[in-house]
Amino acid sequence: MSETSAAAFIELVSGRNGHFSMESGLHSALWLDLDALFAVPARVEPFVLALAEMLRPLHADVVCGPLLGGAFLAQRIATIVGADFWYTEPTKPIDAAGLYRARYRLPRALASRLSRPRVALVDDVMSAGSSLRATYSEVNSRAEVVGVGSLLQLGTVGADYFGALGIPVMAVAQLPFDSWRPTECPHCAAGVPLETVAAPAA
């Protein structure tokens, strides 16, 4: 989508520059605070409606998103397109180190509702797609994942991952975004202190 859409979305959140470790384990120089994104639903609704229309042709039986923001988004889009709503919740990672360690769990009651449904995965913002990757791993054995969507896509790491799986990726707005493995991070090399954050949409 247009840079205008991205600029309008950024106005809905607060962000700051620095040196951050994301949920994916990658490092970045930008952090977006998404906690209040859905606090005033009318402000974000135009973006939600736009994403719902992008996803509608997929004819998904279920819209699923990771807690927190992805779940809020999934519930609203499910209502708009007439689908069921699922969510995943974070659990303790099994691995002690490395990238993409996040694990998300689908509540058993939701998993038993439908047999092999068509599922669209959504999150408010996607960069590396850590929470969406973990959600995909959780639901893929019991559902057909037919698409991935976000309100804002930062960079292409997450989109490239799902694209390589042959899964369509959609976003209302897109912005360039730099992220690095810790061993390749220029801020680490320069000795800039590192902050660990839940995301800027990891």
> In whole angstroms, what is the distance from residue 145 CA to residue 111 CA?
14
Q: How many domains are contained in the chain?
A: 1
**Roughly how many angstroms between the first and final C-alpha of the chain, as a whole number?**
21
The total of other beta-carbon atoms located within 10 Å of residue 48's CB is: 21
Looking at residue 100, what is its pLDDT? Answer: 82
Looking at residue 195, what is its pLDDT? Answer: 84
Domain membership flag for residue 201:
no
> In whole angstroms, what is the distance from residue 133 CA to residue 147 CA?
12
Sorted by sequence, the CB contacts under 8 Å of residue 187 that are 6+ apart come out as 19, 27, 29, 194
Q: For 11-142, where are the alpha helices, taking DSSP H only?
A: 41-55, 69-81, 108-111, 130-139
Looking at residue 3, what is its pLDDT? Answer: 57
Looking at residue 156, what is its pLDDT? Answer: 94
Q: How far is CA 80 from the centre of its chain?
A: 19
For residue 167, the SS3 value is coil
Distances (CA, A) of 103 to 12, 52, 88, 138: 28, 26, 9, 8
Q: Say whether the peptide bond before residue 68 is cis (omega within 30 degrees of 0).
A: yes
In which residue ranges of the chain is pLDDT below 70? 1-4, 93-97, 197-202
Looking at residue 118, what is its pLDDT? Answer: 96
Q: Please choose, from the candidates 179, 191, 61, the residue with its C-alpha nearest in 3D space to the C-alpha of residue 129.
A: 179
CB-side neighbour CA atoms (13 Å) of 159? 20
Phi-psi region of 42 (alpha: psi -120 to 50; beta: other; left: phi over 0): alpha
pTM: 0.90
Domain membership flag for residue 202:
no
Domain membership flag for residue 15:
yes
DSSP label of 141: T
Interhelix angle 41-55/69-81, rounded to 10 degrees, is 60
Looking at residue 200, what is its pLDDT? Answer: 44
Instruction: Find the CATH number of the domain harbouring 77.
Output: 3.40.50.2020
Find the domain containing 30 and state its range. 3-196
